[in-house]
Amino acid sequence: MIYLDYSATTPISLEVLDTMNRTYKEYIGNPNSINALGIKSNELLHSAIKQIADLFNILENEITFTSSSTESNNLAIIGTALKYYKKGKHIIVSRLEHPSIYSICDYLKTIGFEIDYVNNDKEGLIDFEHLRTLIRKDTILVSICAVNSETGVRQPLKMIRQIIKKVNAFTIFHSDMTQAIGKTTISLHDVDLASISSHKIYGPKGIAMLYKASDIKLTPLIYGSGSSNELKPGTPALPLIVGFSKALRLANEDLEKKEKYISLLNDRICTRLKKYYNIKINKTRYSIPHILNISVMDVMPETLMHALDKEGVYVSTNTACSSGEISKAILAIYGDQKRAKHTIRISLSSMTTTGEVTQFLEIFDKCYASLKVLVK
């Protein structure tokens, strides 16, 4: 098996799994209980939270756990909308967001919010001038992902923040960092709100977090009791949180070294695929190496994907969350309908070996050759 779909989800790290196993077995108390077992669980919970806070240099109470980045995005955007609708009902997002962001915006439109989409340039970078003109007095939120999930284009969040705050100091800046964390260095202090997921960094599935700077208020979407965090009432998912915390720590070790290695793998694949006239490589100078997007213009991407599947090679078309649709991000960057319809995403990890890359290229050649013949 050659797994090249790490940006869809990652296999869990065995170390993390071991931690979770032990937590499930040894920390049975509810962290909200005040008996001795509860206290023991509570201490572990707080150590896990503190480890995350220290990693990002933020405060412990700036972390809210959710079930997924999609939930984090909901809490960030709808929570802001409900809290600040009296100040304004205008929200700006980019054209390079995860589909969940667009679904949330579509919902908000039905209850009277106005959504604007900021353009990007040919390299995938946010058009700063356009952003500046879009921000108004009643703009309560701007949401721009740190790394686009299809092309890997990374946005300069710090600069974007400066632009936003200069035009309207009250506009909140949210970033979906799901594809950035554990891949490239990120500062949470560049944003007010950030969505971060565990299953993209070799952690357990079913857990994610929202970073919320302490000066920002959100209206909760869920109501209940028993937690010190009003945004996420209920019993904390201790084993998942502990696993997530460990996965974050491991993912942030040797980040630059890993990035360099993956860059080499990425270059190798690109060099090889460039020889095909009908394959376009959707990579700009702002793409991180972990995500490699190509458009195979003369073959349907699903067909190619299935052919690769049969050979034990796993890649995706578009992103896992919107398969079958035209790629919004590729369309936004290249303005080419066909190119956007024919995308395949190859995502790499520091666990990917050079041997796997060689094998992948061979299998790819074989599958592509056999399908190309049919088209002609």
Q: Report, as residue numbers or ranges, the catalytic residues.
A: 321
| CB of 45 or CB of 348, closer to another protein | 45
Closest to another protein by CB, 48 vs 145, is 48
Contact positions vs another protein (CB under 8 A): 19, 22-23, 34, 36, 39, 43-44, 47-48, 50-51, 242, 245-246, 249
Backbone angles phi, psi at 370, to 5 degrees: -70, -30
Q: Is the CB of 60 or the CB of 116 nearer to another protein?
A: 60
Q: Residue 266: name the closest of 14, 10, 9, 7 by CA.
A: 7
Q: What's the N-to-C CA distance of the chain in angstroms?
A: 30
Between CA 135 and CA 130 the distance in angstroms is 9
State the minimum distance, in angstroms, from the CB of residue 227 to another protein.
14
Minimal distance, residue 34 CB to another protein, in Å: 5
Q: How far is the CB of 204 from another protein (least distance, A)?
A: 14
> Which among 242, 244, 255, 246 has a CA at the least distance from the CA of 182?
255
CB atoms within 10 A of CB 50: 14
Give me the least distance between CB of 26 and another protein, in Å please.
9
Q: Cβ neighbours of residue 290 under 8 Å, at least 6 residues apart? A: 6, 7, 152, 179, 183, 259, 262, 266, 347, 348, 349
Measured from the CB atom, the residue of 38 and 206 that comes closer to another protein is: 38
Tell me which amino acid residue 273 is: L
Residues 6+ apart with CB under 8 A from 83: 217, 218, 219
State the nearest-atom distance from the C-beta of 41 to another protein, in Å.
11
- Residue whose tokens read 């260095």: 185
